Amino acid sequence: MDENKSFGFDPDDFERAAREAGEGLREVFENLTAGLGQQGRGTWTSVFADLARSAQPKQPAEPKPETTGDAGAGVWAIFVLDEFGIARVDQVYPTELDALRANRENTDPRRRVRFLPYGVTISILDQQDEPGHDAAE
């Protein structure tokens, strides 16, 4: 093997590749500046403003106030709606998982699981009469 070709190329090949890459980059930059120059003077400013805006860290969203359900201040109730749409609580559980496990074998469509915050009456679970809505659903 020749001393200059120990890596499969000689210094002239490397210089030629670097020169061609530099010319290609120059063409791309000239095309970019030519297109931006036609659009107006403020275009570069808008390009750099967009870049600066995308580089800034995103502001965290405002924290939402914690609801009673998020705080866990309440119980999970398994309740049954009678034929008049009035709710009757069967069981209450401290966690949603416990309530869902207790209700997993349920086949009665009137038996449901809902979260009840402390201080809310059970009448909130009553079926509301809505147009096209059957109370025995």
Q: Which amino acid is at 23?
A: E
**If you search the block for the tokens 């791309």, which residue do you land on?**
28
Q: Do 103 and 133 touch, CB atoms closer than 8 A?
A: no
pTM of the model: 0.44
Measured CA distances, 4 to 8, 94, 117 (Å): 8, 79, 82
| Domain regions of the chain by residue span | 8-55, 68-125
In this structure, which long-range contacts are made by residues 7-14, counting pairs with CB atoms below 8 Å and at least 24 apart in sequence?
none
In tens digits, the chain (137 residues) has pLDDT values of 456 566 677 777 778 888 888 887 777 777 766 665 555 555 666 666 666 666 666 677 778 777 766 776 888 999 998 888 888 999 999 888 999 999 999 888 889 998 888 888 888 888 765 545 554 44
